[in-house]
Amino acid sequence: MPHYQYFNGEIVPLDQPVFQTNDLGILRGYGLFDYFRTYNGVPFRWDDYWQRFENSARLLKLPLPVTQQETEKILADLYAMSGETEVAFRFVLTGGYAPDSVHMVQPNFLIRTEALPQDNPAGRLKGIKVLPYEYVRDLPEIKTTNYVHMVLMADELKRQNAADLLFHKDGEVSELTRSNIFIFHGDKLITSDRNILNGITRRVVIELAKADFEVEVRPVTYKEVITADEVFTTSTTKWVMPVVQIGDLPVGNGQAGTRTLHLQRQFEELVAHWGK
């Protein structure tokens, strides 16, 4: 069955065009998005994702056209119409149509249902390579639609057989293009708290880790990362993904670490029973 999308009060097929060309998201890059998925047909950490979306909209001064409760009904309808066991939801909120190409009149709100991205079991087992990249996102606490650096580096990532970019600047690491970063030094788990998007998977992993490890949430230096015993990254699509190489440098012994894999198993167990 085809997927559907909600746009400003209507549900239409996913392949139906919805945006006009004078939208501020197109003209000025003025927009934000969020992305999450279901497990066992139930949206994962829905309250957390809505709060983040609501916060992003507030910081970009975009009024939300629907409430959380109204959006829940839309999600339920889109899920039922998809005919799929599991789906991903992508929210997009833009500045809307601007006659003068500058001033926001009324935002446009889109919710897409999408097939889940292809899983990467090899990456979760063996780990991934990332490339260091000197950059800090503008307005990092907002999930804006600006991913230009990731797109610019896409060919280089492919050439070097790397999965992502590791953002760092002035000796400090922030995040990857679409995920958060964690490091282990011994049994101490450390994750950055500055110039980052506050990932929901990151939040869940911190909750899980506190039972077995000392957890520090603070600025993280680039030196700490490249000398760490283990490194991993977290996101909706990556779950808990070991990072085994940073540029030309192996992480630890170049293999997925035992502590990382322990947290990976805990997360997998959590989502396997989500909503049951």
Query: What residues form DSSP beta bridges with 185?
Result: 188
Q: Are residues 242 and 195 in the same domain?
A: yes
Q: Are residues 126 and 237 in the same domain?
A: yes
Cβ-contact 87, 37 below 8 angstroms: yes
Q: Report the CATH number that the domain containing residue 46 is assigned in CATH.
A: 3.30.470.10
Query: What residues form DSSP beta bridges with 180?
Result: 234
Q: Are residues 155 and 197 in the same domain?
A: yes
Q: Are residues 126 and 107 in the same domain?
A: no
Q: Count H helices and E strands in the chain, helices first.
A: 9, 16
**The two three-digit tokens of residue 148, written as one number:** 């230009």
d(CA 34, CA 32): 7
Could you read off the pLDDT of 51-101 as tens digits, one per residue? 999 999 999 999 999 999 999 999 999 999 999 999 999 999 999 999 999
Tell me how crowded residue 88 is: count the other CB atoms within 10 A of its CB. 18
Could you read off the pLDDT of 21-48 as tens digits, one per residue? 999 999 999 999 999 999 999 999 999 9
Q: Are residues 82 and 141 in the same domain?
A: no
Tell me how crowded residue 222 is: count the other CB atoms within 10 A of its CB. 17
Could you read off the pLDDT of 186-197 as tens digits, one per residue? 999 999 999 999
Model pTM score: 0.95
Helix (H, G, I), strand (E, B) or coil at 200: helix
Could you read off the pLDDT of 140-192 as tens digits, one per residue? 999 999 999 999 999 999 999 999 999 999 999 999 999 999 999 999 999 99
What is the DSSP secondary-structure string of 114-167? EPPPPP-HHHHHH-EEEEEEE---SSTTS-BS--HHHHHTHHHHHHTT--EEEE
Q: Are residues 146 and 251 in the same domain?
A: yes
**Predicted confidence (pLDDT) at residue 2 exceeds the cutoff of 90:** no
Q: Are residues 135 and 109 in the same domain?
A: no
Task: Provide the domain limits for residue 66.
Answer: 4-114
Q: Give the DSSP H or E segment for 12.
A: strand 10-13
More confident residue, 119 or 26: 26
Q: Give the DSSP H or E segment for 205.
A: helix 200-209
Question: Which phi and psi angles does 31 have, rounded to 5°?
Answer: -175, 165
